[in-house]
Structure 1
Amino acid sequence: MSRTGAMSWRRGLVFLLPGLWVLAVVLWELLSPLGTRFIELLAAAPAIACAGTGRRQCVLMGGGCALLALLPFGGHDVPSGTRLGTCCAILVVVAASYLTTGRRLRLAAELEWFKEIATTTQRALLRPVPPRLAQLALAGGHLSATRGSLLGGDLYEALATPHGVRVVIGDVRGHGLPALATVAALLGSFRDAAHDEAELPDVLRRLERSLQRHLAADRTGHPTEGQDGAGAEEFATLLLLEIRPRDEVLVLNCGHPWPHRLTTAVTGGRCALTEAPGEPLPPLGMFPLPARLPPQRLHPLRPGEALVLHTDGAEDARDPGGGFFPLTLALTEAAREDRLVPGLVVQRVQTALLAHTGGPLADDVALLVLYHQPLALPTPHPPLASSSPCP
């Protein structure tokens, strides 16, 4: 049976259940050889109707059950006062169930409204990356470790600026809703600094100042989950990239995982970890940035190559037996295609990761794919033959 068919079958059963209950009680009352009264069990029918279908069926079912309670069944000599008491009990159950169901429906409507507000807010915070910037095709994806939340402590953004395409991916300490405020502070600062600052180190310094201001304001207010006041250690790992028009790639790494470089099957189909020479900087917020911040250079991003940026949740995800997720292997499978599609790479890695864990994630996971795909130039049409006037 398909999933849709199973859901339809369940809805039909829930709708028929109150009527089946009434029928069973009436037959039991009529056929009981001991003269025992079971008609009081009719009081459960309106409650079942309210729980399964709604208030309208509850009222109709309750009214029918109240009338049945007043009728003599099976020739039993039951005082009229007993029958009237049973009828009143059924009506009380109807009223209580009606009010309870109304409150439940109001709470459900409010919950849906708040979920819609939360979803809209989270999507505005971590907005989808554009499908294309200059010579790059892009796709991003995020998996939250918090149930019912779209976001958590991971962040990413890609912007076309006068200085080239600038990209940030980061991981704020912690995950889930308590980390959203820090994510918002960093993303807001990056979206301004990426356009305003001519040098990549100055963008990073703007992010550091923004994080410090946010943490200072937070510590003087309410400690977030997992903090113990002003002494709590807060930080964020960050990877800043700048891809220049001549395929140059500059990077500043603050304790973040290095990206992977993919090449398609046409050019050899492989996945390799891309690392710059030298040690990365400490995570942002743990120590002040040094006075000199020379950007490191990665190998140029050639046409047909892709950089896959990710947070450590992708590498640290474990299966029930404790085995780590083979991220490099999952990316290698994607690199065997003749043509890389960033959205499909993200989708396949996420699917493989969820299948590997087989349950809820322990940490948020963010992926961002940057694929160098030059625009195909239109084929020029052959010049039209000029016609000359007849002599």
Structure 2
Amino acid sequence: MIRTWARRGGTAARAARARRTFILVLPGLWVLAVLLWERCAAADGQFLQLLAAAPAIACAGTGRRQCVVLGGLCALLALLPLGADPGAHALARIGTCCAVLVVVAASYLTAGRRLRLLRELERTKEVATAAQRVLLRPLPARVDGIVVAADHLTADEAATVGGDLYDVMATRHGVRAVIGDVRGHGIGALGTVAAVLGSFREAAHDEPDLGAVLRRLERALQRHLRERARAEHPASGGAEPDGPLSEEFVTVLLVEIGQDGAVRTLNCGHPWPYRLSRQGALLEAPDEPMPPLGLFPLPAELPVVACPPLLPGQAIFLHTDGATDARDAHGTFFPLPRALDDSVRSVRDCRPACVVEGVRTALLRHVGGPLSDDVALLVLCNDRWRVPAQADAAPSARGRVRAGQAE
């Protein structure tokens, strides 16, 4: 994956350099073309008025300094008698020179405002990117013997985080992961994503039972929606206003992987994961999921599903419905199982990053344009068989610590 990103970065840098070179040369080519046209056509200064466009092109593409230099050159060229009769069209040449100077002044002021706005936009994008990375932080490559790989694609080009959420954490109760999909996509869903993820990051460590974690998520979502409703409908005071927020919901899939590879899940309206092995991908759909969070209250008894153990070398693939709902130009849905099989069979070892990269590439190739919904991809691979000594050494280390405390 690192080599792939390096190749993409090199290609983008070369394209940017070529674009800057073209923009820098374009005003000069325009001036040269006008002069050649004027000279060959013997128009006696009729085409020199086109020189006024060169400073505007320079300001739009390069900067104010190039605009002033090129504008002064164009103003001098406009005064030159290029026709057969040097005295003819003198007033036209003077008018062209004045027009060039006016364009230079206007372009100079416009370019200054444009540069200030661009600098403010860059600062705003840096702050927004930093905030979004804190919200959907990059996952570590390994969490307590579980190899992790994830990717996220947003339907909103202005955002790096949308309505999909995921996180993986190592707790004393096992490795716990969450993946979810907020109703809607883009920047408008960030508040709900923050509320759900913030609650999960606290509850995953505090609650020994997976059902208690889900109830904490439900309470956090309800509290967030109430606060949003009061902020958007201040006339309601402390009452619960009726509005579109009553239709907000979040699909959530909680996964817990124990030290022995046991997998326990809780599903609220989310797609079931796929189990990956060397034979390919197999959909795990043991039962109908519960309704998404926010639509109905959780039942008194939460149906925690015990999935088959995750053996060493096996992995589970979690995703949001943006992957299965993606369509091409002909309306054909993205064949996720086939893309998973191709990605799994193309690697020889437990390499979730290669699987995620293969599915992402196949998805973008299938869509061939902008996405209609956010997409989140997450792979968890059991790689604990590689470090058996750590598992054996941990109890003895704890025993030595307890013996030292007793002494």
Question: How many Å apart are 1:314 and its aligned residue?
Answer: 1.3
TM-score of the aligned structures, taking structure 1 as reference length: 0.87
1:56 aligns to 2:65 (yes or no): yes
1:90 aligns to 2:100 (yes or no): yes
SS at match of 1:189: helix
Where does residue 227 of structure 2 map in the other structure? 217
SS at match of 1:289: coil
1:235 aligns to 2:245 (yes or no): no
Question: How many Å apart are 1:222 and its aligned residue?
Answer: 2.7
Question: 2:336 & 2:220 partners in 1: Cα distance?
Answer: 32
Report the RMSD for the aligned CA atoms in angstroms.
Answer: 2.5
Question: 2:61 & 2:331 partners in 1: Cα distance?
Answer: 42
Post-superposition CA distance 1:338-376 (Å, at most 9, x none): 312011111111111111111111111111111011133
C-alpha spacing 1:171/1:105, structure 2 compared with 1 (3 Å): same
Where does residue 384 of structure 1 map in the other structure? none
Where does residue 279 of structure 1 map in the other structure? 288
Amino acid paired to 1:376: V
TM-score of the aligned structures, taking structure 2 as reference length: 0.84
Post-superposition CA distance 1:154-202 (Å, at most 9, x none): 1111111111111111111111111111000000000001111111111
Question: How many Å apart are 1:48 and its aligned residue?
Answer: 2.2
Post-superposition CA distance 1:308-349 (Å, at most 9, x none): 111111111112222221111111123323312011111111
C-alpha spacing 1:378/1:216, structure 2 compared with 1 (3 Å): closer
How many equivalent residue pairs?
A: 370
Identity, % of aligned pairs?
Answer: 58
Question: How many Å apart are 1:236 and its aligned residue?
Answer: 0.7
Post-superposition CA distance 1:8-40 (Å, at most 9, x none): 555444333323333343444455546453333
Question: 1:140 & 1:33 partners in 2: Cα distance?
Answer: 66
Q: Which runs of 5+ in 1 are unaligned?
A: 380-391
Where does residue 245 of structure 1 map in the other structure? 259
Question: 1:230 & 1:197 partners in 2: Cα distance?
Answer: 32
C-alpha spacing 1:6/1:261, structure 2 compared with 1 (3 Å): closer
Where does residue 400 of structure 2 map in the other structure? none
Question: 1:247 & 1:113 partners in 2: Cα distance?
Answer: 45
Q: Which moved more, 1:300-309 or 1:3-12?
A: 3-12
SS at match of 1:92: helix
Question: How many Å apart are 1:77 and its aligned residue?
Answer: 2.2
C-alpha spacing 1:197/1:35, structure 2 compared with 1 (3 Å): closer
Question: 2:308 & 2:32 partners in 1: Cα distance?
Answer: 77
Question: How many Å apart are 1:204 and its aligned residue?
Answer: 0.6
SS at match of 1:286: coil
Question: 1:39 & 1:110 partners in 2: Cα distance?
Answer: 38
1:108 aligns to 2:157 (yes or no): no
Where does residue 295 of structure 1 map in the other structure? 304
Question: How many Å apart are 1:69 and its aligned residue?
Answer: 3.1
1:194 aligns to 2:208 (yes or no): no
Amino acid paired to 1:329: R
Higher-helix-fraction structure: 2
Question: 2:137 & 2:177 partners in 1: Cα distance?
Answer: 14
Question: How many Å apart are 1:124 and its aligned residue?
Answer: 1.0
State whether residues 44 and 88 of structure 2, in contact with CA within 8 Å, keep that contact through their aligned partners in structure 1: no
Where does residue 5 of structure 2 map in the other structure? none
Question: How many Å apart are 1:119 and its aligned residue?
Answer: 1.4
Structure number, greater radius of gyration: 1
State whether residues 320 and 357 of structure 1, in contact with CA within 8 Å, keep that contact through their aligned partners in structure 2: yes
Question: 1:353 & 1:79 partners in 2: Cα distance?
Answer: 63
State whether residues 334 and 363 of structure 2, in contact with CA within 8 Å, keep that contact through their aligned partners in structure 1: yes
C-alpha spacing 1:354/1:6, structure 2 compared with 1 (3 Å): closer
Where does residue 162 of structure 1 map in the other structure? 172
